[in-house]
Amino acid sequence: MLLRPVALLLASALLAPAALAGSAQSRSQGVVEDGSWSLLNRSVFDQRDYKHGGRNSAARNAYKPRNERSGKAEEWAYGLMGSFQSGFSQGLVGVGVDAHAYLGVQLNSGGGRAGKARLLAVDNHGHPENEYSRGGAAVKLRVANTVLSYGEQRVKTPVFSASDSRLLPETATGLLLTSNERDPLKLVAGHFNEDTDRNASSHDQGFVVNYSNGRQGNSFDLAGAVWNPNATFSTSLYTSRYQDSWNQHYLGSTLSHALDDHRSLSLDLNLYRTTDTGKALSGRIDNTTWSLVSRYNLGPHGFSLGWQQVDGNTPFDYVSRGAIYIANAVQMSDFNAPNEKSWQARYDLDMGAYGVPGLNLTALYVRGFAIDGTHVDPNGGYAYLGYGKGGKHWERDLEARYVVQSGKAKGTAFSLRHNVHRGNTAQAELDGDQIRLAVEWPLAGGF
């Protein structure tokens, strides 16, 4: 799937002299001269209290992994993330390398109540490790405005994307091609043989699949196009294949319009179409999931309303933790159960208008209903979730985030979240309360 797009894009770059003359590669100063480094210090405290009732009953917990059953979870950890991005050597074909090294250290495991927050790596018995680390690198080639990289890297697409929502980032191993030869059109293609979860310390676990417990496929392929003609409109189209499991296609679009200097409107559409393929290792899949969110900005105030819908007898599933762009995939639930409908209401406030620049407040409420998982393939990868008919649940998320605006601590970010989820026994998520405090201190520079 990948070789033909790679050949076509590289040939296009090489056969366009005008593009070569004014390209990013023609402006290269060298591997070190254009290189940069970054160091991110992150401390996260995550406390979760899984309440009794709903899916937390003993019978329903039989469907959950041991470290995700009801009870309390509390973890406090420190993460150090170092990254180096080189420039490219000069010439027709530029060569460079990107590298990273991550370290996670346990500060407190809550008296043995760790595991469910998934900040820390765990041993074979489910106990949190005192520390864990991993690193990797990717070699990259550039011709004109086309870059091909191979190795371990962080990927960002709607169908395969590295998440950075816990302590350390997720990474993927494989080939990634990005071409900007025809601005404002960007073309992307990739082939991957594994991705490494956020709290993993090894690189031999295959793929992270979020809901299916079926046997894993051995590869993931993707190709896509992003068209961004101006600052008010963008659209993207992707196709992907998770070997012997499913084909997944994506359409996304954003549109914004300024009404005046203080008011604006925007729309955000995300649509996924997923069907089983090959050996269908996760069972029968015929799923269409979409969301649409409208947002109205009035000075420092933001008001959002959204709708999300799943059409299909399996949950909307995805490979890698970050490859879910639907609007109601929030802190404790994705609201992606079979045949589920859900709506959201959100309010954002920029406190800079009230004399506190850098402080932003958010309140979000999502309600899901009409879940019907009674027609899930009994031999597939989702039967263990135990969906019923008439499933419903809701989630409320509150967040305060402050970023230091000046001084030696400029860029340091503090965030505090309080999340609550409740549901009945016909849906698959646990009832729970979460408190999460994170502090990030970034350092960056060049050579």
pLDDT digits (tens, 9 = 90+) for 187-226: 999 999 999 999 998 887 899 999 999 999 999 999 999 9
Q: Which residue has the higher pLDDT, 341 or 120?
A: 341
Whether a cis peptide bond, with omega within 30° of 0, leads into 128 is no
Using CA atoms in the order 201, 202, 206, 211, what is the torsion angle rounded to 10 degrees? -20
Q: What is the pTM of this model?
A: 0.92
> Please, how many CA atoms are within 13 Å of residue 136, restricted to the half-sphere of its CB?
19
300 Cβ contact list (under 8 Å, min separation 6): 349, 350, 351, 352, 353, 354
Cβ contact 6:148 at 8 Å = yes
Residue 64 has pLDDT above 90, yes or no: no
User: Domain residues of the chain, as ranges?
Assistant: 3-446
pLDDT for position 354: 97
pLDDT for position 56: 60
Q: Which of 49-63, 252-266, 309-323 has the lowest mean pLDDT?
A: 49-63
Mean pLDDT for the stretch of residues 96-112: 87
Q: Which of 30-39, 50-59, 77-86, 435-444 has the lowest mean pLDDT?
A: 50-59
- Which of 70-79, 102-111, 228-237 has the highest average model confidence (pLDDT)? 228-237
Mean pLDDT for the stretch of residues 48-57: 70
The secondary structure of 7-30, three-state, reads: HHHHHHHHCCHHHHHCCCHHHCCC
- pLDDT single digits (tens) 170-184: 999 999 999 999 989
296 Cβ contact list (under 8 Å, min separation 6): 263, 264, 265, 302, 303, 304
pLDDT for position 4: 60
pLDDT band at 164 (very low <50, low <70, confident <90, very high): very high
3 closest CA partner among 175, 150, 206, 138: 175
Residue 105 has pLDDT above 80, yes or no: yes
Mean pLDDT for the stretch of residues 420-432: 95
pLDDT for position 60: 43
- Residue 105, number of CB atoms within 10 A of its CB: 16
- Residue 422, number of CB atoms within 10 A of its CB: 19
pLDDT for position 204: 77
237 closest CA partner among 285, 272, 277, 195: 272
CA distance 439 to 447: 27
How far is CA 116 from each of CA 31, 214, 221, rounded to the nearest angstrom? 42, 22, 31
pLDDT for position 348: 98
124 Cβ contact list (under 8 Å, min separation 6): none
Residue 7 has pLDDT above 70, yes or no: no
CA distance 100 to 138: 9
Mean pLDDT for the stretch of residues 253-258: 97
Mean pLDDT for the stretch of residues 302-316: 98
Residue 61 has pLDDT above 50, yes or no: no
pLDDT for position 117: 67
Q: What does R_g of the chain's alpha carbons equal in angstroms?
A: 23
- Residue 281, number of CB atoms within 10 A of its CB: 20
Mean pLDDT for the stretch of residues 148-175: 96
Structure-token pair, residue 213: 């417990």
Q: Tokens 């210090």 identify what position?
A: 41
Please state the length of the chain: 447
Residue 65 has pLDDT above 60, yes or no: no
Beta bridge partners of 135: 101
Residue 400 has pLDDT above 80, yes or no: yes
How far is CA 310 from each of CA 53, 153, 237, rounded to the nearest angstrom? 25, 31, 19
Q: Considering the chain, what percentage of its residues have pLDDT values greater than 70? A: 90
Mean pLDDT for the stretch of residues 299-304: 98
pLDDT for position 177: 97
Cβ contact 447:35 at 8 Å = yes
Structure-token pair, residue 375: 């027609």
Mean pLDDT for the stretch of residues 296-301: 98
Query: Average pLDDT, whole number, for the chain?
Result: 91
Cβ contact 145:13 at 8 Å = yes
Mean pLDDT for the stretch of residues 358-370: 98
CA distance 370 to 361: 31
For 279-308, give the DSSP string: T-TT---EEEEEEEEEEEEETTEEEEEEEE
> Please, how many CA atoms are within 13 Å of residue 216, restricted to the half-sphere of its CB?
15
Q: What's 331's DSSP letter?
A: S
- Architecture of the 3-446 domain: Beta Barrel (2.40)
Beta bridge partners of 273: 249, 288
Q: Tokens 């962080």 identify what position?
A: 154
429 closest CA partner among 309, 329, 343: 329
